[in-house]
Chain A
Amino acid sequence: MELKFTEEQEMFRESVREYCQRKITPVALEMEKTREISIEIKKGMAELGLLGCTASPEYGGSGLDAVSAGVIGEELARADPTGSIPVFYLVQAAWGFVLNKYGTEEAKKEVFPKVIAGEYFLGIATTESDAGSDVGGTRTMIKKEGDGYIVNGEKMYISGVREAAEGGGGHLTIAKQNPELGTRGMTMFYLPLTADGITPTYIDDLGREGISCGGFAIDNVKIPKYYILGEENKGFYIVHEGYEFARGLIAVICAAAGLKSLENGMNYIKERKCFGTAIGKFEEINFRLAEHYTRLNMLRDLAYKSLWTIDREQQGKGSRFETSKAIAMAKMFASDWACNAINDVMQWQGAFGYSKECPDQAAWRAIRSFALAEGSKEMMKMIVARELLGKEFIAYK
């Protein structure tokens, strides 16, 4: 057993960390006001090869595996407390992996070069007003018409709507093709948000201000056949591979954001005095620090292990279910543990911790989203229990 990153992964980390220190951290909190990731940062990320990094080299990507993608996510999460850039990155890495694996040659050649150059945004759109983690509740419909397909419905709480609708790009989307077949009648496809019939709407999120959140109505939108991912009616299975990739990255990002916040906290409690002594000497504080640090490192290890199971599965050495379980275990407490740590760091910093000048408040608001995003923590428990007890113990069946 050897628990270490490869030389190549360490080089990725060094390059990305240096970039983040130069270009992201100094301006990260500005995104709370500008509400966008600057063109300069998108361009810089593209030049480093961070966008669409999981796409194969023939489409201009670096063909990164899941662990390597995690290394990059970790560094971005350390650098940007608003969580905007980590989300911008992780969505495109995870769903780029799906497009790369299941997309047609034509779609990949059309979409990837622009995603990798930072011109297009590639997102995921499964959630609807009445269907979140329960993908089977999707109401959006897709049907064949002539050489292509027609899509109707509405998606909601989607990241990167403005980026794709105004800047170009689209979202991997799921819809029911044969509703009578339930989850076995769902098809996944690439939906450009610049298509006729798409009407975007926007929602103000609690955090992650640099990346938009919203929804879009889909009114008789025509898409060509080559936008279909994999086979028709197999979308439910395909979408979970993307979710799992994203969930693993989210777990790493939560651990990184929490640990970064603890570093901020440590710097503070070593200096700040109360009753003439550094507050870091009080056990109420330093015991909590020790607990959070231990918990977040457990999370980090579990998160990387979960990404490693994805890579093993892709190499034909692991099963789908093994991956699902490992990923769900990693994501289950990721947001809670990181938020609890960040919340304590805010507390240690007193009134400053509650001010908008404090990066930790931005981190708390961003990381809180991950208890829901890409599958709620409750859903993660359901997956683990299902894998332990068997499908016959799924409550809703």
Chain B
Amino acid sequence: MRFIVCVKEVPESIDVKFDLKNNKIQDESISTTLNPFDQFILEEALKLKKDEDEIIAISIGTPQTKKVLMKCLALGADKAILLSDNVFIGSDTFATAYTLSKVINKIGDFDIIFCGQQTVDGNTAQVGPELAAQLKIPQVTYVESIDKFEGKKLLVKSQTDDGFKIVESQIPVLLTGIPPSSFTPSLPPLRNIIAAQNKPCIIWNFENLGGPRDKYGSVGSLIQITKVYYPPPREKGIMIVEEPITAVEKLIELLTKDKVI
């Protein structure tokens, strides 16, 4: 079996600074990590993995993104592929899914594609479903656990608005995962971190993937970010320091004046 896990490097904290001139996050201001949704689904893949199976982690990013792929290798993935090229810059979810589909087609046969349900920075939850559409394979989203995997069939538990459902699917399939509240990400032990340094981590660029250039990056995107800005600061509030009855009267007066009531 070959499992492919798509992962993303995301900011470690929500306290990020924006490059307002270039409409993007100020890269140098942040420390980054593996998207927690992706780590969860990687760990689900690892639970299914038998000795003869192969897990390939793939990611799109800068050379620095290699660090999250190295973490995937330390957690148990066998091989990693980093897609890094200026051509990929500015990709929206559609172009990202296209790029991922190109690399997956280049890899060849696969059985299950694993994606995090969403990333903690973009929060779109679109890349997985769009990738399944590009690859023309079925998908199950909001997967909380893989309960059974026998032969070519798997049973997964998928979250819904008011509970969960059990879905049976054939392979190949794409799963997007969302961790249950009980999930605690594993920490790679030192010996696995050391072993990861000897696992293959390949860097591919646009030339390696081929295809029309205008399908990639901002050119191939359906969405363009036109402006990045900080929300306006909250206006100063009004403090009413009076006896309770007077304070309530003043509050009613102010709310009436502003036509709130």
Residue of B nearest to A63 (CB): B194
B67→A15 contact, CB < 8 A: no
A130 in the interface (beta carbon within 8 A): no
User: How far is A53 from B184 in the complex, measured between Cα atoms in Å?
Assistant: 25
Residue of A nearest to B12 (CB): A14
A15→B197 contact, CB < 8 A: no
Per-position contact with A for B183-220: 1 when CB-CB < 8 Å, else 0?
A: 01101111101101100000000000000000000000
A12→B191 contact, CB < 8 A: no
A48 in the interface (beta carbon within 8 A): yes
A231 in the interface (beta carbon within 8 A): no
A residues 1-53 touching B (CB-CB < 8 Å): 7-8, 10-12, 14-15, 18-19, 22, 47-50, 53
A11: contacting residue among B74, B184, B185, CB under 8 A: B74
Please report B residues at the A interface, Cβ cutoff 8 Å.
33, 66-67, 70-71, 74, 184-185, 187-191, 193-194, 196-197
A11→B187 contact, CB < 8 A: no
User: How far is A380 from B81 in the complex, measured between Cα atoms in Å?
Assistant: 49
A8→B189 contact, CB < 8 A: no
A8→B187 contact, CB < 8 A: no
B67→A48 contact, CB < 8 A: no
A48→B189 contact, CB < 8 A: yes
User: Which B residues are CB-close (under 8 A) to A47?
Assistant: 189
A11→B189 contact, CB < 8 A: no
A62 in the interface (beta carbon within 8 A): yes
Per-position contact with B for A45-83: 1 when CB-CB < 8 Å, else 0?
A: 001111001000100001110000000000000000000
A12→B190 contact, CB < 8 A: yes
User: Which B residues are CB-close (under 8 A) to A62?
Assistant: 190-191, 194
User: Which B residues are CB-close (under 8 A) to A22?
Assistant: 184
User: Which A residues are CB-close (under 8 A) to B187?
Assistant: 15, 18-19, 48
Chain A: interface size category: 10 to 19
A53→B189 contact, CB < 8 A: no
B67: contacting residue among A10, A49, A50, CB under 8 A: A10
Tell me whether chain A's interface is mostly helix, strand or loop, or mixed: helix
> Can you spell out 10 A-B residue pairs with CB atoms less than 8 angstroms apart?
A7-B197, A8-B197, A11-B71, A11-B193, A14-B33, A15-B190, A18-B185, A47-B189, A50-B190, A64-B190
User: How far is A49 from B188 in the complex, measured between Cα atoms in Å?
Assistant: 10
B190→A48 contact, CB < 8 A: yes
Residue of B nearest to A18 (CB): B187
B211 to chain A, nearest CB (A): 31
B194→A15 contact, CB < 8 A: no
B191 to chain A, nearest CB (A): 5
A196 to chain B, nearest CB (A): 36
Residue of A nearest to B197 (CB): A8
A11→B191 contact, CB < 8 A: no
User: Which B residues are CB-close (under 8 A) to A48?
Assistant: 187, 189-190
Given contacts A7-B66, A8-B193, 18 further A-B contacts (CB under 8 A): A7-B67, A7-B197, A8-B194, A11-B67, A11-B70, A11-B188, A11-B196, A12-B190, A12-B193, A14-B33, A14-B71, A15-B187, A15-B188, A19-B187, A48-B187, A48-B189, A50-B190, A64-B190
User: Which B residues are CB-close (under 8 A) to A15?
Assistant: 74, 187-190, 193
User: Which A residues are CB-close (under 8 A) to B189?
Assistant: 15, 47-49
User: How far is A48 from B192 in the complex, measured between Cα atoms in Å?
Assistant: 9
A residues 87-145 touching B (CB-CB < 8 Å): none
User: Which of A19, A57, A62 is the most central at the interface, judged by chain B CB atoms within 10 Å of its CB?
Assistant: A62
User: Which B residues are CB-close (under 8 A) to A18?
Assistant: 185, 187
User: How far is A53 from B189 in the complex, measured between Cα atoms in Å?
Assistant: 11
User: Which A residues are CB-close (under 8 A) to B190?
Assistant: 12, 15, 48-50, 53, 62, 64
